Amino acid sequence: MQTPIDSSQFRRIMSRFATGVTVVTTRSGQEVHGLTCNAFCSISLNPCTVMVSVAKDARSWPLIEESRLFAVNVLSEDQTAISDRFAGRHRDKDDDRFEGIEWTTAVTGAPILEGTQGYLDCRVTRTFDGGTHTLFLGEVVGLNLDDSRPPLVFYGSRYMGVDSLKPL
């Protein structure tokens, strides 16, 4: 018989895997929403395709399902408050997560946040059932980079900057 997996150990191991932090935004009709997401990766270059994993009970999920579009906003070091807000940690801002935040649109109409390191505007090409989550693959149809901004890192369940990182 297989030994049961200790999920707290699983969480601890996953927390050692340093990631960036993104806010995945979407729009369906006039409704816009978004969530903080670090289950994000590059899938292919030709065509440029990325994947985001979104919980089926997240409010953005039905909007992405309907509209088949999303934007990945890659956060900068000074955007921890934005990350917290889009992770639902600012209760007073949970009805309208965009209140007081500057944003524009690019190709798909998904919100593009100001002050990020860059964005990838995507149309959904495929979805995969991941149990509690859906894996959305998106082809990049618009993008922009501001490489003057340092990245926001998530490591050990905390936000980090990259000042003390050293090239090996």
Ligand X SMILES: Cc1cc2nc3c(=O)[nH]c(=O)nc-3n(C[C@H](O)[C@H](O)[C@H](O)COP(=O)(O)O)c2cc1C
- The DSSP 8-state label assigned to residue 147 in this structure reads T
**Closest approach of ligand X to the CB of residue 93, in Å:** 11
Residue 154 Cβ vs ligand X, minimum distance, rounded to whole Å: 5
Helix, strand, or coil (residue 152): coil
> Residue 72 forms beta bridges with which residues?
24, 120
Residue whose CB is less far from ligand X, 4 or 19? 19
Query: 32 or 35: whose CB is closer to ligand X?
Result: 35
Closest distance of CB 168 from ligand X, Å: 25
How far apart (Å, rounded) are the C-alpha atoms in residues 157 and 31? 31
**Which of 38/76 has CB closer to ligand X?**
38
* Residue 120 CB neighbour total at 10 angstroms: 27
Pick between residue 38 and residue 67 the one whose CB is nearest to ligand X. Answer: 38
**What is the smallest separation between the CB atom of 88 and ligand X, expressed in angstroms?**
3
Instruction: Please tell me what DSSP assigns to residue 150.
Output: P
- CA nearest neighbour of 59 among 84, 20, 96: 96
Q: Which residues bind ligand X (CB under 6 A)?
A: 21, 35-39, 53-55, 58-59, 86-88, 133, 154
Angle at 62 between CA 105 and CA 43, to 5 degrees: 65
